[in-house]
Amino acid sequence: MNRSPRKEREWKEREARILEVARRLLMEHGYLGLKMDQIAAEMEYSKGTIYQHFSSKEDVIMELAAQTIEKRLELMARASEYKGRPRERIAALGVAVELFVRRFADYFRVEQIIRADSIREKAAQERQEKLTACELRCMGIVSGIVRDGIAAGDLTLPEFLTPEQLTFGMWSLSFGGSSIIVTGQLGELGVEEPFQAIINNIQMLLDGLNWKPLSYETDYPQTMERIAEEMFSDLLDDARTP
């Protein structure tokens, strides 16, 4: 049946609110702590209403996962369009990923939880594939830029490292670092400014590959600052306060 535009709008708003609440509960209490009852209670709607939007708890969680990767993909896609030399575009991706983790820490946490628990298995095939496809596109964006770098003559990979392997390296550094940060025990381990540390480590890695322009040949921090302001001004409000 057709809904009036107003109804339709309200419907979507409610769906968004459900996911919001669910994401917070998932972060705060883990997979076990996410309870349909509690979502309903916090929304001040009834459980029945939640079930009108999502057919099961699994469904809620998979939608959360979908939101997450779409969010990240969106940011990465935006960054990849930066007009500049390939290594600068990698820097743009760095900006995007850092912003994603900082500004949407809860999204990232969701990804991590879902990755760890064997929820994927239970999820519908279709959803499953959607997630993998999305990851593929993320990798594609990065390795595309690596190839651009090679094509532009800025970078020559040693024979023992394929573009995918380099991409995998940067992804690992970024994902692993963010995981450790988000999980939280970092303070006690004496690592200052971990986000900046991730970026600096990646820069050193690219320097090691002799990807031009090298980190001391250009002012990357300034470039990234500019990228953040030009391309992601809408997300900057509180991201600076670590």
Partner DNA sequence: CATGAATGAGCCTTCATTCAT
Partner DNA sequence: TATGAATGAAGGCTCATTCAT
Q: CB atoms < 10 A from the CB of 70, how many?
A: 13
H or E element at residue 16 = helix 5-33
115 part of the interface to a copy of itself, by CB under 8 A: yes
Torsion angle, CA of 76/78/79/83, rounded to 10 degrees?
150
Residues in 8-47 that interact with a copy of itself by CB under 8 A: 28-33
Which of DNA, a copy of itself, none sits in contact with 206, Cβ below 5 to 8 A by type?
A: a copy of itself
Q: CB atoms < 10 A from the CB of 194, how many?
A: 15
Stretch that binds a copy of itself, among 8-16, 64-72, 145-153, 156-164 (CB under 8 A): 156-164
194 part of the interface to a copy of itself, by CB under 8 A: yes
Which of 37, 126, 188, 238 binds a copy of itself (CB under 8 A)? It is: 188
Is the separation of the CB atoms in 111 and 64 below 8 Å? no
Which residue has tokens 């490292």? 161
- Cβ nearer to DNA, comparing 47 with 137: 47
DSSP category for residue 45:
S
Is the separation of the CB atoms in 67 and 107 below 8 Å? yes
Please report, as ranges, the residues that interact with DNA according to CB under 7 A.
1-3, 7, 10-11, 14, 32, 34-37, 44-49, 51-52, 55-58
Whole-angstrom Cα distance, residue 148 to residue 207?
A: 17
141 part of the interface to a copy of itself, by CB under 8 A: no
Chain residues in the site for a copy of itself (CB under 8 A):
28-33, 112-113, 115-119, 132, 135-136, 139, 158, 160-162, 164-177, 179-180, 183, 185-186, 188-194, 196-198, 200-201, 203-209
